[in-house]
Structure 1
Amino acid sequence: MVVIDDAHALELFRFADRVQSVTLRVACDAPMVTGEERYYAAEIVLESGFVNGTVGLHISGGDLDEWGRCLDALEAEEGAEWPPGGRSAWLSVVPQDPLEVTVHDSPSTQIAVQVPVDVATGWLKENRLRLEHVRMAIA
C-alpha cells in the first residue's frame, strides 16, 4: 500500500459534490527512478456515504500529459480512461449528468466502484489548475 505524506502531496484531480468524491493525490517528493522515467507515489481516494476506499499507484510525467488529454476529451463531452497501460489502478470518467467516475483496482483485486458525482460549475478549470500545480511541483 502506498502511504502519502500530506505535507508533500498535491491533488491531481478532484471530482466532488456534497455527498461523495474521487480524488487523486500525488506525493511530489522522492520519485522512484526507473531508467529514464521518474514515477511518483499516488493514491486514488474514494469517499461516499456508501463506500470509502483508497488504492495506490505510481504515475509519471507522461501520465500527467495523458491526464491533460483526458481533460480535453471530457471538455469535448467524450469519456476518458486514465492512466493508460493497465499497469495499475485506473479510472474511467463518463461526462454525463451526473458525471460517472469508476475506480478500477486492477490488476490487484479486480474490484471496480462507480460513483455518480454532481460536479459544480468550473470543475474542469479547477482540475486543469491542479494538473499545472503538480507539473510545476515535479519539474
Structure 2
Amino acid sequence: MQTFELFRFADPAQSVAVEVRCGAPVTTVDQERHYSAEIVVKSDFVTGRVGLQVSHEDLDEWERCLDALQAEEGAEWPAGDRSAWVDVVPDDPVEVTVHDSPSTQIAVRVPIDVASEWLEENRLRLARVRAAVSAS
C-alpha cells in the first residue's frame, strides 16, 4: 500500500498535509469507495495527526477548492461534518486551520509562508493521488 500526499502547505518551520493510503479501498453500503487518510500538522508548537476517509468525490471537491484558492477565495475540505477537515485562507501567510470534528472539537490554526509555486505543486499531488486510486 502506497501513501501519497494529496496536498501540502509548508514553510521551513511548519506544515499541514493530507496523506492518503492508496491501497484497497473500503466500500460503503452505497458502493462509494473510501481511502484511509490523515491530516498531518507539524510545527515547533504542535505536531499531530487526525484520521479521515477520502472518496473520489472528495478528490473532485479538493480540485474545486484549489480553483477557489487560485481565485484568492477561502476553501473548506472535505465537505460535511463526517470527519476532520481543513479551512484554508489564502492570505499572506496562508492560514490553514485543522478541525478535529466531531471527535474532540479541537482546532489548530497554522500560518504558513508558502512558496510561490504551492498551487501548481498541490495540483500535481492531486493528479498523483487520482492516478493511484484509479489503479487500485
2:123 alignment partner, SS class:
helix
Matched, 1:28 2:46: no
Q: Aligned residue for 2:84?
A: 89
TM-fit CA distance, 1:62 = 0.1
Q: After the TM superposition, which residues 85-124 of structure 1 pair with which residues of structure 2 at under 5 Å, given as runs? A: 85-124=80-119
Q: Which residue of 2 aligns with 1:39?
A: 34
RMSD: 0.6
The amino acid across from 1:126 in the alignment is E
Task: Say how many residue pairs are matched.
Answer: 133
TM-score by length of 2: 0.97
- Secondary structure class of the residue paired with 1:108: coil
Q: Deviations over 1:66-96 (max 9, x none)?
A: 0000000000000000000110000000000
How far residue 30 of structure 1 moved from its aligned partner, in angstroms, is 1.3
Unaligned residue ranges in structure 1 (runs of 5+) = 1-6
Equivalent position amino acid for 1:22 in 2: V
What TM-score does the superposition give when structure 1 sets the normalisation length? 0.94
Q: 1:134 aligns with which of 126, 129, 133?
A: 129
Identical aligned residues as a percent: 67
